[in-house]
Homo-oligomer: A and B are copies of this chain.
Amino acid sequence: MQIESPPVDRERIIPTAERRGLILVHTGNGKGKSTAAFGLALRAHGRGKAVKIYQFMKVPSARFGEHRMFEKIGLSIEGLGDGFSWKSRDIAHSAQLALDGWAKAEACIRAGEHFLVVLDEIMYPLRYGWVPLGPVLTCLRERPSHVHVVLTGRNAPQELIELADTVTEMTQIKHHFEAGVPAQRGIED
Contacts and interface: CB of A to CB of B under 8 A. Distances in A.
A69 B46 contact: yes
A135 interface: no
Given A3-B91, A166-B176, A173-B169, A11 B185 contact: yes
Contacts of A187: 22, 24, 40, 43-44, 116, 148
Contacts of A70: 42, 46
The number of times this chain is found in the oligomer is 2
Interface size class of A (residues with CB under 8 A): 35 or more
A1 B129 contact: yes
A170 B173 contact: no
Contacts of A171: 28, 168-171
Contacts of A11: 182-183, 185, 188-189
